[in-house]
Amino acid sequence: MIPSSFPDSTEIARLTARMLLEIKAVHFNSREPFTLASGLPSPTYIDCRKLISYPRIRSTLMDFLTVTVMRDAGFEAFDNIAGGETAGIPFAAMVAERMALPMTYVRKKPKGYGRNARIEGAMTEGERVLLVEDLTTDGGSKLSFVDAIRETGATCGHTAVIFYYGIFPETEKTLGDHGVKLHSLCTWWDVLAEAKVQKAFDNETLDGVEAFLNDPRVWQETHKS
């Protein structure tokens, strides 16, 4: 069912941050930083995959993501919803259900046997495809998925994520230069604001996270092991 009413984007961001904190998908540790996939340190880590285990929260956030996309991109803007392997697959399925559209998914690389395909499901030339993922940091990982979609003859000019880091200024330019517009529900700034309201972490931790968010590249450089 397609949701017909929804809060404004500011309230969606606040509520999304609150839900992520409630299920402990948000991890802050400025004393013992996490190591990201890039190998760089970070005092923040988020696990959006946890959302699939919380039915009420996942349903609300999928409503939010659906209405955000329709509000920003259009109510008849897409023909197919594609999930990025692997975290984006369940969220793409839920958005596709709400929008009453076909769902597909995109592999990170060909299987290496059989059809050797990257696209699973039915995607045809000329379809307008929305790429759904759990999150984005600098936008770079989305480009390979977008290219795989375009190789079918379909178009992909939009990607929707639950969480957007919102601290690397090059992200939207990287996607924009590739002809892709980003839609998201909340950022680290929204999570930090809600964490302060809830006193979810001690002040030293929150201050350390805020320092990172204000200048992440410098923070990472000074905290390399």
Flag whether 109 is marked binding: no
Contacts of 147 (CB under 8 A, 6+ apart): none
**137 annotated as a binding-site residue:** yes
DSSP notation for 93-122: HHHHHHHT--EEEE-SS--SSTT--SEES-
76 is in an annotated binding site: no
Which of 192, 190, 183, 137 lies closest to 162, judged by CA?
A: 183
Instruction: Please name the residue ranges forming H helices in 114-202.
Output: 140-150, 171-177, 188-198
Q: Between the CA of residue 35 and those of 39, 85, 224, what are the distances in Å?
A: 6, 21, 10
- Tell me: is residue 221 an annotated ligand-binding position: no
Is residue 134 part of an annotated ligand binding site? yes
Q: Please tell me the distance from the alpha carbon of residue 26 to that of residue 186, in angstroms, as a whole number.
A: 13
**Residue closest to 29 by CA, chosen among 177, 225, 175, 202:** 202
Taking the C-alpha atoms of residue 31 and residue 26, their distance in angstroms, rounded to an integer, is 16
Side chain identity at residue 148, one-letter code: A
224 assigned ligand-binding residue: no
C-beta of residue 83 within 8 angstroms of C-beta of residue 132:
yes
Cα angle 176-179-180, degrees, rounded to a multiple of 5: 70
Q: Per the annotation, does 111 bind a ligand? A: yes
139 marked as binding residue: yes
Residue 119 CA to residue 130 CA, distance in Å, equals: 14
120 annotated to a ligand binding site: no
Ligand-binding annotation for 21, yes or no, is no
Which residue ranges are tagged as binding site for orotate?
137
Which residue ranges are tagged as binding site for 5-phospho-alpha-D-ribose 1-diphosphate?
107-108, 111, 133-141
Which residue ranges are tagged as binding site?
107-108, 111, 133-141
